[in-house]
């Protein structure tokens, strides 16, 4: 049982991120890359993700303002976004990306717009939760891991 | 195609430290006996950072480039790799054409094609272009670890 209250809070937040389906196994893989040489690896990767993906979100928003929709272009943007989101383990965001792509393939503009709104919500929610998580992580200090040094 | 990855719903038990107790491949489980080198070709910076990170965690000396043209130039300059991980969608020169050109230069190393998702047609096209295996992003340890063990084993048997 973790005695340090900040560590306990961190564990609770982390478990909640998985239990609520925001994150998947990929996030655990990223955590395993974090070590003394790269103590902030996960936060750095997540920060880069939000920076990179903001551009794609903007591209999709602009593409959805142009009628008629270019579904091939929308699909291509979302393909890239899905790959990025998968790489940090953003489970709900990734799932909604798949829904959006299905609507692109069936040329359903209304569906695309609804799905995109939902995706932006999930994306923003995850960002908020991860920012809070990393803030506590920084205060709690480095966690000892069971990882064997290479 | 990449095998199905355990979903978040499969994590029913978290140990102390919050780590799932589900038995699975980990990039840190592999111990290489030989020096292996890899090239990651991915136009998305942080995806490339993650892919390079996984390979380094496996003990592989890894380089990365962000477009197909740079990959072709690097190979043409004489750089040799045991493994190339290449995204299907690349800026400047796409993943399919980059793979064809790398193979046309006589490169016989293992190549793993990655993409956010593969339709059957995309997967077949990438394999026909010359990759040996496919992995949906994120790069799957189930795909990568056996390949690295195989490459490591090839050196050991020489």
Q: Please check whether residue B17 touches A, CB under 8 A.
A: yes
Letter string b/e over residues B116-143, b meaning 16 or more CB atoms within 10 A of that residue's CB: bbbeeebbebbbebbbebbbbbbbbbeb
Report how far residue A80's alpha carbon sits from residue A103's, in angstroms, rounded to the nearest whole number. 16
User: pLDDT tens digits, chain B, 158 residues: what are they?
Assistant: 333 333 333 333 333 333 444 445 666 678 889 999 999 999 988 899 999 999 998 899 999 999 999 999 999 999 999 999 999 999 889 999 999 999 999 999 999 999 988 889 999 999 999 999 999 988 878 888 899 999 998 766 55
Query: Is the minimum CB–CB distance between B137 and chain A shorter than 8 Å?
Result: yes
Q: Nearest CA to B79 among B87, B71, B68?
A: B71
Task: State how far the alpha carbon of A39 is from the alpha carbons of A25, A42, A45, A98, B111, in Å.
Answer: 20, 8, 12, 33, 31
- Tens-place pLDDT, residues A99-134: 999 999 999 999 999 999 999 999 999 999 999 999
Q: Which residue has the tokens 């290479």?
A: A150
What gap in Å lies between CA B75 and CA B79, rounded to an integer?
Answer: 5
Partners of B86 in the β-ladder: B41, B113
**Domains of chain B, CATH where assigned:** 35-151 (3.40.50.2300)
pTM of this structure: 0.82
- Strand-pairing partners, residue B62, are B38
Contact between chains at A86 and B137 (C-beta distance less than 8 A)? yes
Cα distance from A44 to chain B (closest Cα, Å)?
9
- Please report the number of interchain residue pairs, chain A to chain B, with beta-carbon separation below 8 angstroms: 106
DSSP string, A58-107: HHHHHHHHSSS--HHHHHHHHHHHHHHHHHHTBHHHHHHHHHHHHHHHTT
């Amino acid at each position: 049982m973790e005695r340090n209250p900040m560590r306990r809070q961190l564990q609770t937040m982390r478990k909640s991120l998985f239990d609520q389906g925001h994150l998947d196994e990929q996030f655990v893989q990223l955590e395993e890359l974090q070590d003394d040489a790269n103590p902030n690896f996960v936060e750095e990767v997540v920060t880069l993700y939000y920076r990179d993906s903001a551009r794609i979100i903007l591209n999709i928003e602009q593409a959805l303002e142009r009628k008629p929709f270019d579904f091939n272009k929308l699909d291509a943007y979302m393909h890239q976004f899905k790959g990025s989101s998968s790489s940090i383990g953003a489970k709900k965001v990734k799932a909604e990306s798949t829904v959006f792509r299905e609507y692109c393939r069936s040329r359903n503009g209304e569906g695309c717009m609804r799905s995109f709104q939902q995706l932006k919500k999930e994306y923003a929610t995850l960002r908020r939760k991860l920012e809070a998580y990393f803030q506590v992580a920084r205060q709690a200090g480095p966690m000892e891991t069971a990882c064997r040094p290479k | 195609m990449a095998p199905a990855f355990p979903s978040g719903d499969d994590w029913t038990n978290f140990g102390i430290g919050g780590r799932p107790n589900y038995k699975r491949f980990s990039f840190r489980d592999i111990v290489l006996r030989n020096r292996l080198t890899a090239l990651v070709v991915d136009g998305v910076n942080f995806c490339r950072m993650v892919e390079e990170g996984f390979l380094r965690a496996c003990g592989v000396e890894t380089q990365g480039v962000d477009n197909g043209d740079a990959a072709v130039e690097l190979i043409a300059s004489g750089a040799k790799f045991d493994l190339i991980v290449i995204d299907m969608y690349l800026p400047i020169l796409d993943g399919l054409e980059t793979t064809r050109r790398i193979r046309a230069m006589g490169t016989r190393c293992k190549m793993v094609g990655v993409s956010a998702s593969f339709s059957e047609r995309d997967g077949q096209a990438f394999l026909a272009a010359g990759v040996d295996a496919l992995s949906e992003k994120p790069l799957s340890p189930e795909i990568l670890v056996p390949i690295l063990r195989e490459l490591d084993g090839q050196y050991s048997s020489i």
